[in-house]
């Protein structure tokens, strides 16, 4: 048939960027039209992504809930700080001093050692104009890189996929978690997500022994393989689906086409992910926490050669309205130790020069503590950039805490987060940032 | 536009489409019943639900309890910090249990209740007004809002907006309860226009601040757990809102919003998307809005014309909507004529699939559509199907039982699973002895029941290969076949 393209091997299928198993594959008409384009792109971008040992990798680490930046990178020498925080304020003895004025929270020994070894940059006072104090809205602003009074449909990483990774393997974006983050929303959605590699699979009830063929699983695999034995033109797929979901429009094809593609992505990535997770050994000791496990998994996937450019992990619990001291202590220790272990693991693998970790939180917290031993939603806060190519040290300047310099009790930002994104896109992922961020933001000198 | 579907197109397929979209699907017999009734009577059977008795009892705790609240407050006042912590823990435990019960109560109304269309509308309004227990905390308020959506499910647009605005859960959710003339809180004032009735671009920032002033006075009587108008909080000055000037109050704000032609366009587009699976063209949207306004903004006559229209049965609409997690679970139960899994499991499934009832992710509600589907959630659906149909936990089985057969860890989990008693599907209820005896008939029957259309040839062949690998089909094999049909892309679509 004219509309069919038969792919002989899995390798060829992967290289041409659609995924399959070791069967002989046929691709339906809706894919065939774009196939030529995919194949030519596969020769450069996709093939490079798949085989390239040089491709850079970005790990985005979300600190969800709004981390109290002031007690993370602490201006312990500033009287304004102690006046605003009689109970929560940290003294010089309680911090890991960086320069005699500023220091990390005492629990962040992991970050301190990364800082000392030249692998960590602190971007101080990051925020955006007209800050929003709603978790949802501010998270959305960070995820879509929008102005605070504009709503963007797509995420900044989704726009990166659309602009710079067309035709790439679906595994180009990997989220460790249940839900695709809004940052990944795209015109042509890409990326896979999963929580636990053990359960990231179709599981039959038969407990087959290794090597044994399970009939249920075999049937599932075939029933989820795109094939053309059905009528070539689906009678439903006449027009394009302009705005299918409020949040995530999709172009072309029917809803079933989209799910078929996702099913194929799931099938092949599940095999691959589990194979790598079982084969690759960790070469560092991670804290037994959710973030530790996520980064451990990311390290395995990098070591196993997954063709991923963007990994997304998150750590929750930073919304410390009450009893902040104990909670933040635990979270920051987990953060520092997990990232430190990840860096060691990358170094042992020989992949550290390819990897950059970037943290963000939707906002910092108010300068003044509240009456419940906590802090309420605020504005600007520091970001951390980790890797052996970073310009290590304290970047930007610490925003003033003098009362007259605050805006409604909040720190005024000194760096727009989109200047950080611009740097990550241009200097690390090597792509133009303006089409992705909507306009030109001056890249910060980060790497 | 919106001309009635020709009666000659009424069939099992169109009837099933109606029941899937205006309800949560049903057995082949339920679809056939609607097909036999013809379109007008089929739509009436769903929409005129007042004619069908519904005697579902309310949860035992679903009533105001000012005495209990008072006792609790007094106890907390006298308590030591340690005792106060214990009281708080006890409260949290109650709330957790009640929310579990409430979710189960509602899911059962959808899955087993006599008025599925009404519950489908309640689910729409819940997603529309998107109020979360994460901030409201109080299960009684969440139930009460749910009942409001049930009472006004197909009622009047203006009345619904007013009552939703005065609803205790909403007063907490969008901070209206804290609004004073000295510091008007703009949260509800903004969202009522942006997300509930007009959409961005159809009002100015000035309208937001003026609406916030007018809405002051709408407040919550916490001890008595109900709405209260507090004249002392109200700003009696002159406001200008959407072109109208005067000493406006909250009711005036809602009336002025609903008077905008955009209000009808906004809500009819959203309703069309909910039922048809995509947003309408401008032309269709204008026609839909005209029907709503032509019926004094009453939803029932509007929905009747919508479900009767040829557009609703267009080829681009039918079988082209992703099932939401709730739709997936509830329609599976209806189509397979089985029971919902126990409360914690039903909750866990809907939550892990991305739709935690009473806890939408934010005030915009669930994005829905293809955002329901990720590689992870798709595999979860495929595995949850085994739990639902076969009463097993495949994920536990693989990682726990298989790896330590007979080991202490495995046994413990096995016992816990047994205690949960998931019924699974009764093969004899959904298949005749003849269908169970013949593989061809079995496959055809499952396609008819679960998809209302055949599998693709390659899929059918794979299913037949599976069945052929069994010397003799037992019930377990049949259930595996059911699960396999549910583990396809098509089954995620309705």
Distance between CA atoms of residues A186 and A159, nearest Å: 6
Distance between CA atoms of residues B108 and B330, nearest Å: 8
pLDDT digits over A134-168, tens only? 888 899 999 999 999 888 889 999 999 999 987 77
- CB-defined contacts A:B, below 8 A: 185
CATH of the domain at A288: 3.40.720
Strand locations in A177-263 (E): 192-194
What's the pLDDT at B319? 94
Strand partners, B25: none
**Co-location of A32 and A117 in the same domain:** no
Residue A259 parent element (H or E): helix A255-279
Contacts of B315 in chain A (CB under 8 A): 235-236, 238
- Whether A203 sits inside 8 A of B458 (CB atoms) is no
Q: Is residue A229 part of a domain?
A: no
**Co-location of A321 and A426 in the same domain:** yes
A188 C-beta neighbours (distance < 10 Å), count: 14
Encode chain B in three state secondary structure: CCCECCHHHCCHHHHHHHHHHHCCCCCHHHHHHHHHHCHHHHHHHHHCHHHCCCCCCCCCCCCCCHHHHHHHHHHHHHCCHHHHHHHHHHHHHHHHHHHHHHHHHHHHHHHHCCCHHHHHHHHHHHHHHCCCHHHHCCHHHHHHHHHHHHHCCCCEHHHHHHHHHCCHHHHHHCCHHHCCCCCCCCHHHHHHHHCCCCCCCCCCHHHHHHHHHHHCCEEEECCCCEEEECHHHCCCCCEEECCEEECCCHHHHHHHHHCCHHHHHHHHHHHHHHHHCCCCCHHHHHHHHHHHHHCCCEHHHHHHHHHHEHHHHCCCCCCCCECCHHHHHHHHHHHHCCCCCCHHHHHHHHHHCCCCCCCCCCCCCCCCHHHHCCHHHHHHHHHHHHHHHHCCCHHHHHHHHCCCCCCHHHHHHHHHHHHHCCCCCCHHHHCCHHHHHCHHHHHHHHHHHHCCCCCCHHHHHHHHHHHHCCCCCCHHHHHHHHHHHHCCCHHHEC
Q: Does residue A142 sit in helix, strand or coil?
A: helix
On whether the CB atoms of residues B390 and B479 are closer than 8 A, the answer is: yes
Q: Is residue A234 part of a domain?
A: no
Query: In this predicted complex, what is the ipTM?
Result: 0.92
Distance between CA atoms of residues B483 and B385, nearest Å: 6
On whether the CB atoms of residues A13 and A25 are closer than 8 A, the answer is: yes
**Co-location of A26 and A102 in the same domain:** no
pLDDT digits over A435-446, tens only? 999 999 999 999
Write out the DSSP string of A40-106.
HHIIIIIHHHHH-SS--EEEEEEETT---GGGTEE-TT-HHHHHH-TTT---GGGEEESSSS-EEET
Contacts of B492 in chain A (CB under 8 A): 259
User: Is residue A21 predicted with pLDDT exceeding 50?
Assistant: no
Strands A173-176 and A192-194: parallel
What's the pLDDT at A207? 64
Give Cβ neighbours of residue B154 (< 8 Å, ≥ 6 apart).
Answer: B47, B118, B121, B298, B299, B300, B303
Picking from A203, A230, A255, the nearest residue to B321 by CB comes out as: A255
Contacts of A245 in chain B (CB under 8 A): 367-371
DSSP 8-state assignment for residue A135:
H
Q: Is residue A122 part of a domain?
A: yes
What's the pLDDT at B395? 61
Contacts of A294 in chain B (CB under 8 A): none
Contacts of A189 in chain B (CB under 8 A): 370
The rounded radius of gyration (Å) of the Cα atoms in chain A is 23
- A219 and B CB contact within 8 Å: yes
pLDDT digits over B393-444, tens only? 776 544 454 444 444 455 565 666 666 677 889 999 999 999 998 999 999 9
Distance between CA atoms of residues A138 and A146, nearest Å: 10
Distance between CA atoms of residues A193 and B374, nearest Å: 7
CA distances from B402 to A270, A352, B397, B399, B409 (A): 19, 37, 6, 6, 11
Distance between CA atoms of residues B299 and B312, nearest Å: 16
**Top-confidence residue, A34 or A104:** A104
- Whether B370 sits inside 8 A of A248 (CB atoms) is yes
User: Is residue A420 predicted with pLDDT exceeding 80?
Assistant: yes
Q: What angle (nearest 5°) sits at the alpha carbon of residue B25, between those of residues B19 and B30?
A: 75
**Co-location of A278 and A419 in the same domain:** yes
Distance between CA atoms of residues B210 and B219, nearest Å: 17
User: Is residue A13 predicted with pLDDT exceeding 90?
Assistant: no
**Co-location of A78 and A194 in the same domain:** yes
Give Cβ neighbours of residue B386 (< 8 Å, ≥ 6 apart).
Answer: A203, A205, B392, B393, B394, B483
Q: Is residue A63 part of a domain?
A: yes
Give the structural domain span for A186: 55-201+248-437
- Whether B316 sits inside 8 A of A239 (CB atoms) is yes
User: CA-nearest residue of chain B to A178?
Assistant: B376
Confidence of residue A209 (pLDDT cuts 50, 70, 90): low
Query: What is the number of residues in chain B?
Result: 494
CA distances from B37 to A52, B40, B213, B307, B337 (A): 63, 8, 53, 15, 22
- Whether B489 sits inside 8 A of A263 (CB atoms) is yes
- Closest to A342 in 3D by CA, of A360, A333, A355: A355
- Whether A229 sits inside 8 A of B456 (CB atoms) is yes
On whether the CB atoms of residues B128 and B266 are closer than 8 A, the answer is: no
Structure tokens at B183: 């510091």
Distance between CA atoms of residues B323 and B304, nearest Å: 22
User: CA-nearest residue of chain A to B469?
Assistant: A215
Distance between CA atoms of residues A165 and A156, nearest Å: 13
- Each of the 494 residues of chain B gets a pLDDT tens digit; together they read 899 999 999 999 999 999 999 999 999 999 999 999 999 999 999 999 999 999 999 999 999 999 988 998 898 889 898 898 899 899 999 999 999 999 999 999 999 999 999 999 999 999 999 999 988 999 999 999 999 999 999 999 999 999 999 999 999 999 899 899 998 988 899 999 999 999 988 999 899 999 999 999 999 999 999 999 999 999 999 999 999 999 999 999 999 999 999 999 999 999 999 999 999 999 999 999 999 999 999 999 999 999 999 999 999 999 999 999 999 999 999 999 999 999 989 998 999 899 999 999 878 899 899 889 999 999 999 999 999 999 877 765 444 544 444 444 555 656 666 666 778 899 999 999 999 989 999 999 999 999 999 999 999 999 999 999 998 889 999 999 999 999 999 999 99
DSSP 8-state assignment for residue A275:
H
**Co-location of A258 and A353 in the same domain:** yes
What's the pLDDT at B414? 62
Residue A362 distance to chain B (closest CA, Å): 15
Strand locations in A142-272 (E): 173-176, 192-194
User: CA-nearest residue of chain A to B462?
Assistant: A219
Distance between CA atoms of residues B27 and B30, nearest Å: 5
Q: For A204-213, A256-265, B350-359, which range has the lowest pLDDT when averaged over its residues?
A: A204-213
- Closest to A124 in 3D by CA, of A99, A141, A145, A155: A99
DSSP 8-state assignment for residue A311:
E
**Mean pLDDT of all residues in A346-372:** 94
DSSP 8-state assignment for residue A404:
G
CA distances from A9 to A13, A94, A345 (A): 6, 60, 33
- Closest to A91 in 3D by CA, of A107, A80, A103, A99: A103
Q: Does residue A120 sit in helix, strand or coil?
A: strand
Picking from B322, B465, B490, the nearest residue to A219 by CB comes out as: B465
Confidence of residue A3 (pLDDT cuts 50, 70, 90): very low
User: Is residue A377 predicted with pLDDT exceeding 70?
Assistant: yes
**Co-location of A21 and A117 in the same domain:** no
- Whether A207 sits inside 8 A of B461 (CB atoms) is no
Distance between CA atoms of residues B256 and A276, nearest Å: 60
**Co-location of A38 and A143 in the same domain:** no
Distance between CA atoms of residues B191 and B195, nearest Å: 5
Domain boundary among A11, A29, A52: A52
**Co-location of A277 and A177 in the same domain:** yes
Q: For A26-35, A411-420, B164-173, B208-217, which range has the lowest pLDDT when averaged over its residues?
A: A26-35
| Cα distance between the two ends of chain A | 51
pLDDT digits over B194-210, tens only? 999 999 889 998 999 99
Structure tokens at B409: 């860890």
Distance between CA atoms of residues A160 and B108, nearest Å: 44
Identify the burial level of B418 via C-beta atoms within 10 angstroms of its C-beta, where 0-12 means exposed, 13-18 middle and 19 or more buried: exposed
pTM of the model: 0.84
What's the pLDDT at A253? 62
- A256 and B CB contact within 8 Å: yes
Structure tokens at A113: 């050692």
Q: Does residue A222 sit in helix, strand or coil?
A: helix
Q: Is residue A230 part of a domain?
A: no
**Co-location of A17 and A114 in the same domain:** no
User: Is residue A212 predicted with pLDDT exceeding 80?
Assistant: no
Give Cβ neighbours of residue B461 (< 8 Å, ≥ 6 apart).
Answer: A222, A229
Distance between CA atoms of residues A132 and A113, nearest Å: 34
What are the residue ranges spanned by the domains of chain B?
Answer: 7-47+261-313, 427-492
Residue B75 distance to chain A (closest CA, Å): 20
What's the pLDDT at B410? 55
Residue B159 distance to chain A (closest CA, Å): 26
Picking from A185, A202, A258, the nearest residue to B382 by CB comes out as: A202
Contacts of A269 in chain B (CB under 8 A): 375
What's the pLDDT at B409? 53
Q: How many domains does chain A have?
A: 2
């Amino acid at each position: 048939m004219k509309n069919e393209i038969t792919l002989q091997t899995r390798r060829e299928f992967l290289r041409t960027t659609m995924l399959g198993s070791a069967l002989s594959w046929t691709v339906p008409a809706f894919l065939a039209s774009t196939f030529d384009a995919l194949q030519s792109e596969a020769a450069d971008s996709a093939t490079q992504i798949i085989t390239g040992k040089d491709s850079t990798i970005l790990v985005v680490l979300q600190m969800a809930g709004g981390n109290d930046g002031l007690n993370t990178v602490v201006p312990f020498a500033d009287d304004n700080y102690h006046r605003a925080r009689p109970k929560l304020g940290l003294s010089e003895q309680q911090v890991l001093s960086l320069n005699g004025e500023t220091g990390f929270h005492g629990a962040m020994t992991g970050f301190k050692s990364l800082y000392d070894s030249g692998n960590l940059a602190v971007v101080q006072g990051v925020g955006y104009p007209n800050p929003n104090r709603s978790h949802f809205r501010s998270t959305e602003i960070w995820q879509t890189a929008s102005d605070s009074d504009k709503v963007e449909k797509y995420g900044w990483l989704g726009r990166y996929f659309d602009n710079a990774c067309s035709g790439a393997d679906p595994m180009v974006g990997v989220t460790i978690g249940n839900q695709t983050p809004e940052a990944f929303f795209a015109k042509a959605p890409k990326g896979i997500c999963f929580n636990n590699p053990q359960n990231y699979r179709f599981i039959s009830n038969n407990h087959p022994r290794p090597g044994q063929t399970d009939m249920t699983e075999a049937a599932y695999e075939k029933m989820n393989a795109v094939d053309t034995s059905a009528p070539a033109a689906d009678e439903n797929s006449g027009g394009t689906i302009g705005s299918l979901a409020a949040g995530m429009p999709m172009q072309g094809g029917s809803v079933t086409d989209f799910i078929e593609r996702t099913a194929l992505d799931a099938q092949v990535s599940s095999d691959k992910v589990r194979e790598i997770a079982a084969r690759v050994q960790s070469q560092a000791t991670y804290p037994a926490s959710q973030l530790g496990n996520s980064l451990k998994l990311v390290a395995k996937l990098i070591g196993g050669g997954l063709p991923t450019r963007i990994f997304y992990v998150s750590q929750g619990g930073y919304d410390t309205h009450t009893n902040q001291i104990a909670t933040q202590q635990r979270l920051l220790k987990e953060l520092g130790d997990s990232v430190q272990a990840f860096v060691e693991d990358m170094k042992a693998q020989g992949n550290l020069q390819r990897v950059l970790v970037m943290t963000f939180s939707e906002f910092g917290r108010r300068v003044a503590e509240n009456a419940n031993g906590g802090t309420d939603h605020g504005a600007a806060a520091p970001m951390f950039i980790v890797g052996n190519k970073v310009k290590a040290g304290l970047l930007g300047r610490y925003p003033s805490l003098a009362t007259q310099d605050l805006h409604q009790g909040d720190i005024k930002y000194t760096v727009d987060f989109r200047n950080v994104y611009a740097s990550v896109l241009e200097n690390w992922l090597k792509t133009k940032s303006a089409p992705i961020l909507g306009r030109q933001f001056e890249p910060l000198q980060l790497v | 536009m919106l001309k009635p579907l020709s009666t000659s197109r009424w069939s099992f397929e169109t009837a099933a489409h109606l029941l899937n979209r205006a309800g949560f699907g049903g057995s082949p017999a339920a679809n056939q019943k609607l097909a036999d009734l013809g379109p007008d009577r089929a739509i009436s059977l769903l929409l005129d639900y007042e004619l069908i008795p519904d005697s579902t009892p309310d949860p035992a705790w679903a009533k105001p309890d000012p005495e209990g609240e008072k006792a609790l407050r007094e106890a907390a006042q006298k308590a030591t910090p340690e005792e106060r912590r214990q009281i708080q823990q006890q409260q949290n435990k109650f709330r957790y249990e009640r929310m579990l019960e409430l979710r189960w109560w509602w899911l059962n109304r959808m899955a087993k209740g006599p008025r599925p269309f009404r519950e489908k509308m309640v689910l729409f309004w819940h997603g529309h007004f998107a109020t979360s227990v994460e901030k409201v905390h109080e299960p009684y308020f969440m139930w009460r809002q749910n009942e409001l959506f049930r009472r006004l499910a197909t009622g009047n647009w203006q009345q619904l907006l007013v009552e939703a605005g005065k609803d205790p859960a909403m007063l907490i959710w969008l901070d209206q309860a804290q609004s004073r003339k000295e510091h008007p809180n703009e949260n509800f004032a903004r969202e009522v226009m942006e997300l509930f009735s007009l959409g961005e671009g159809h009002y100015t920032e000035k309208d937001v601040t003026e609406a916030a002033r007018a809405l002051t006075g709408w407040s919550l009587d916490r001890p008595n757990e109900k709405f209260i108008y507090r004249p002392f909080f109200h700003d009696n000055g002159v406001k200008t809102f959407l072109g109208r000037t005067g000493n406006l109050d909250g009711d005036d704000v809602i009336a002025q919003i609903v008077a905008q032609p955009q209000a009808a366009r906004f809500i009819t587009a959203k309703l069309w998307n909910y039922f048809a699976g995509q947003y309408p063209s401008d032309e269709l949207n204008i026609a839909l809005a005209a029907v709503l306004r032509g019926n004094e903004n009453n939803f029932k006559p509007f929905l009747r014309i919508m479900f009767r229209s040829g557009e609703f049965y267009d080829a681009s609409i039918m079988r082209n909507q992703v099932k939401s997690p709730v739709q997936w679970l509830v329609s599976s139960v209806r189509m397979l004529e089985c029971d919902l899994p126990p409360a914690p499991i039903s909750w866990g499934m809907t939550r892990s699939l991305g739709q935690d009832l009473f806890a939408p992710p934010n005030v915009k509600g669930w994005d829905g559509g293809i955002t329901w589907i990720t590689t992870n959630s798709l595999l979860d659906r495929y595995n949850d199907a085994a739990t639902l149909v076969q009463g097993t936990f495949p994920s536990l089985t693989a990682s726990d039982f298989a790896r330590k057969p007979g080991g202490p860890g495995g046994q413990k989990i096995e016992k816990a699973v047994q205690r949960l008693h998931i019924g699974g599907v009764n093969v004899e209820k959904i298949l005749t002895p003849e269908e169970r005896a013949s593989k061809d008939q079995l496959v055809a029957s499952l396609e008819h029941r679960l998809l209302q259309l055949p599998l693709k040839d390659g899929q059918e062949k794979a299913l037949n290969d599976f069945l052929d690998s069994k010397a003799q089909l037992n019930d377990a094999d049949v259930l595996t076949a059911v699960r396999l049909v549910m583990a396809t892309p098509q089954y995620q679509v309705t």
